[in-house]
Amino acid sequence: MRILIVEDNSDILANVLDYLQLKGYTVDCAQDGLGGLHLAVTHAYDLIVLDVMLPGIDGYQICKRLREDAKLDIPVIMLTARDTLDDRIQGFNTGTDDYLVKPFALSELHARIQAVLRRAKGSRVHELRVGDLAFDVETLQVRRAGRTLRPHPFGLRLLEILMKKSPAVVRREELERELWGDNCPDSDSLRSHIHQLRQVVDKSFDSPLLHTVHGIGYRLAENTDDL
C-alpha cells in the first residue's frame, strides 16, 4: 500500500512517516499544498493523509481539486487542529473520507487508515473500461469488442495503470516508478513493454487506443484530438 502524507509540521510528519513505514506502508511526503497536490495527481496512491493548514493552498482546496478537477477518488484522511462541527462539515463537503483532530495517537491514525482502505476496497469498481476495451481487475480478463485478449502478466499491470488514469497522459517516469520502483532497468524496457501491449490491444482493431505522447509518456484513450 502506498500512502501520501501532506503535512507542514516537521515533527508530526517525521513521526507519522516512521510509524507507517514500520507498519509496512510505502510513504511519500510533501510539506506544502502545491507540492502535495502535484504528487497526488501525478502518482498512484492508495490513500492520502492531508493536513488542513498548509503553505500555498490548504487541505480543503487540495481535496476539492482532487475530486472536482482531477476526478480522483483516492481516500483522504484530513488532519487538523480545528475541531468545530462547521470545520468537520467543511472537510466532508470537499470530499474527505475521514477527519482526525490533532493531537492524535498514531495507533488511532493507523486504525482509521485501515478502516478507510477497507471501505474503499468494498466500493472499488472491479471493471475498467476505455471505449470498447474492458479489464476485469478481479479475474484479470481483458476483452475488446467482445474478443478475449491475453496480455503478458507485466502488460496487465501496465494496462491497469493506463486505464485507471485514462484519458490522462501518464508520464514515462511515473510508469517506470509504478512498475519497477527505484530499480528501473534500461531506458528501452518500458518502450518494449508498451510495444508488446500495443500488439495485443490495438493490432487487430481499426482504431488505436494506446498512444505515444512524444517526449512525455503514454495515453490510453479513444479521442486524441487534443494531443
Instruction: Write down the pLDDT at residue 187.
Output: 66
Per-residue pLDDT tens for 89-137?
Answer: 877 788 889 989 999 999 999 999 999 988 877 655 577 888 889 998 8
Per-residue pLDDT tens for 152-172?
Answer: 888 999 999 999 888 889 998
Q: Higher model confidence: residue 77 or residue 222?
A: 77
Fold of 127-220: Arc Repressor Mutant, subunit A (1.10.10)
Residues in Cβ contact with 109 at an 8 Å cutoff, skipping those fewer than 6 apart: 16, 19, 49, 77, 100
Instruction: Write down the pLDDT at residue 20.
Output: 95
Query: pTM value?
Result: 0.59
Note the Cα 31 to chain centre separation in Å: 19
- Residue 44 pLDDT > 60, yes or no? yes
| Superfamily of domain covering 2-123 | Response regulator (3.40.50.2300)
Report the chain's mean pLDDT, rounded to a whole number. 88
Q: How confident is the model at residue 3 (pLDDT cuts 50, 70, 90)?
A: very high
Indicate the domain borders of the chain.
2-123, 127-220
Pick the range with the lowest mean pLDDT from 51-55, 180-184, 212-216: 180-184
Sign of dihedral through CA atoms 110, 111, 116, 118?
positive
Torsion of CA 207, 209, 210, 216, to 10 degrees: 110
